Amino acid sequence: MAKNYEEFRIHGKQMVDYICDYVKNMDKKTVAPILVEPGFLAPQLEKEVPELPESYQQIMDDFENKIMPGIMHWNHPNFYAYFGAGNAYPSLLGDMLSSGIAAIGFSWASCPALTELEAIMLDWYAKALDLPEFFLSKSSNPDSVGGGAIQASASDAIFACMCSARARAIKKLKGDNHEIHDSVYLPQLVCYASSEAHSSVEKAAKMNLVILRIIEPDSHDSMRGDALERAIERDIARGLTPFFVVATLGTTSQVAFDNLVEIGQVCKKYPSLWFHVDGAYGGNAFLVPEMRRYKAGMEFVDSFEVNPNKLMMTAFDCTCMWVKNVLTFTEAFAVDPLYLQHQHDNNVVDLRHFGTPLSRRFRSLKLYFMFRMYGLKGLQSYIRRVIAMGKHFEKLVKTDDRFEIRNDVILGLACFRLLQPDAVNQEFLARMNASGKIHLTPAKVKGKYVIRFVANQENCNEEQINYAWKTIQQFADEILGEIVPTEKRPTRPRLKKLNRTHSQRFSFTRNVSQEIYERQPSIQKLTDGATPIVVIDTDSILLSLQKATIKNKEAQERDKKIQIKHNGCNGIKGV
């Protein structure tokens, strides 16, 4: 039975209504699906594809009753976790149109408008962010050999750029030795990122089979040129080849900014280096001139990427990536390099050469609607609001001396904690999340467990933040009341402690024993804001303390016996 589009006219409108009602009434829901346990869904749905067609209403009823209870409401006013994800409706219009048209844009010929609009939107965005002119396409800058493409995620963009850098480095090392296989050069390739960089850099290095050198940032968690240069010099002295550096503008844990000017100057000294800048969250902020001081040094960069879903309200996926030299970039992926050269002369490079996928959606339509329906002014006032909301939350936290802020609150993210041991902060976060009153995620900042508060929702306002802060304070009262009993404390029913599994789930931490931890062949070095933080199990520490105590006692007993023997039979016990 072919589906008829007259039906879509009806259901499509119903779906739009459903989405509008969802957004409008979201605040009446609990932010997080606290009642569902892993495996909740399968028992509720059929085991197989239904034999006969079902009605829209039946399908939506099941969605509402069975699936919706397991949904995390990322745009709920009490959601402050990760980096909030955009769902501004202009981007939804673009998504819908893209799916409806269903054109697949792997080459210019397969859908000319798809290839061209993508380039134009990336030019618009590059200009709005005040990026260097070498990132513009030929139609905006006739001298340019650079340009951009949309990738599915920042991780994809970072992987692709590292892959290209690797191909370029190997080509150089290889010279005319065509008979030698590229893989021979892998063991000598090294890339660099700060310990605050995103785990996608670690993943990219792992998939590219290259060494990742982690650089310690300064006291503001900014990667600096001298630390990078020392590491590079050490590697060169060992006979290795540094080939790729990633700097971050707006790190995931705490939105810190690396020093591009210093790093760029180092990269310039070593021409084998490809300099990538990860601006997944923070890059969007250059829409406003007052944030542009953080992008000083961008003129040294070979590639850059930013996620409009993180700080420009746009529905995922739509990572904007720019490269300084399209031909060099695409060489790693093109299976028909001669054709590629010819294409580039013609001003259009087929999008299939920009990474792994052949097929592509018409994702630039999201930006097309976003840019036109907000205008630069609308987008700028959004960024300014995020900055102001972050500052507002910081101010509130600073009024309460039971708490501290652990980062420089620059762009909507505050990392705060109770002035208590990590274990207390874990339990504190777990209880808040398990209550469903607010949703937050943790990070490790300067060795301490912190709670991240991200205020990047479109409609976030002071009232909403004041409410969130009150909620946080109430949980602090409770947990601190249990730890530090004071006479003044009103008698209140003792808070039900979370069981171990819930505590781990809602504090986003995983306790492992020292023994298991040490046995891991590799331990994730970089953070991603998504993987639970590994904490060495306090129970196992206690257990090993107990063991040590028993051993000490046994040893003492042995010493005593020896001493008794030694003292002979005069009956005086050893002291």
Ligand X SMILES: *Cc1c(COP(=O)(O)O)cnc(C)c1O
Q: What are the residues binding ligand X (CB under 6 A)?
A: 153-155, 198, 200, 248, 251-252, 278, 280-281, 307, 319
From 8, 473, 452, select the one nearest 255 (Cα to Cα): 452
Q: How far apart are CA 377 and CA 3, in angstroms?
A: 42
Q: In angstroms, give the least distance from the CB of 397 to ligand X.
A: 22
Nearer to ligand X, 105 or 529 (CB): 529
φ and ψ at residue 487, rounded to 5 degrees = -65, -30
Nearer to ligand X, 327 or 454 (CB): 454
Q: How far is CA 440 from the centre of its chain?
A: 14
370 in Cβ contact with 308 (< 8 Å): yes
Nearer to ligand X, 280 or 472 (CB): 280
Q: In angstroms, give the least distance from the CB of 486 to ligand X.
A: 41
Q: How far is CA 477 from the centre of its chain?
A: 31
285 in Cβ contact with 294 (< 8 Å): yes
Nearer to ligand X, 310 or 431 (CB): 310
Alpha helix positions (H), 216-363: 225-237, 260-269, 308-311, 326-331, 337-345
Residue 44 tokens read as 């509720």
Write out the DSSP string of 509-533: EEEE-HHHHHH-S----SB-SSSPE
Q: In angstroms, give the least distance from the CB of 250 to ligand X.
A: 6
Nearer to ligand X, 251 or 303 (CB): 251
Q: In angstroms, give the least distance from the CB of 256 to ligand X.
A: 10
Q: In angstroms, give the least distance from the CB of 411 to ligand X.
A: 11
φ and ψ at residue 194, rounded to 5 degrees = -80, 160
* Residues across the chain: 575
Nearer to ligand X, 227 or 443 (CB): 443
The answer, yes or no, to whether the previous bond of 317 is cis (omega within 30 of 0) is yes
Q: How far apart are CA 575 and CA 560, in angstroms?
A: 8
E strands present in 169-235: 189-194, 211-215
From 326, 304, 276, select the one nearest 147 (Cα to Cα): 326
Q: How far apart are CA 306 and CA 279, in angstroms?
A: 5
Nearer to ligand X, 256 or 327 (CB): 256
Q: How far apart are CA 151 and CA 158, in angstroms?
A: 10
Nearer to ligand X, 319 or 420 (CB): 319
SS3 state of residue 173: helix
Q: How far apart are CA 324 and CA 326, in angstroms?
A: 6
Q: In angstroms, give the least distance from the CB of 197 to ligand X.
A: 7
Nearer to ligand X, 452 or 505 (CB): 452
From 95, 80, 82, select the one nearest 16 (Cα to Cα): 95
Q: In angstroms, give the least distance from the CB of 251 to ligand X.
A: 6
Q: In angstroms, give the least distance from the CB of 152 to ligand X.
A: 8
Q: In angstroms, give the least distance from the CB of 200 to ligand X.
A: 5
Nearer to ligand X, 278 or 394 (CB): 278
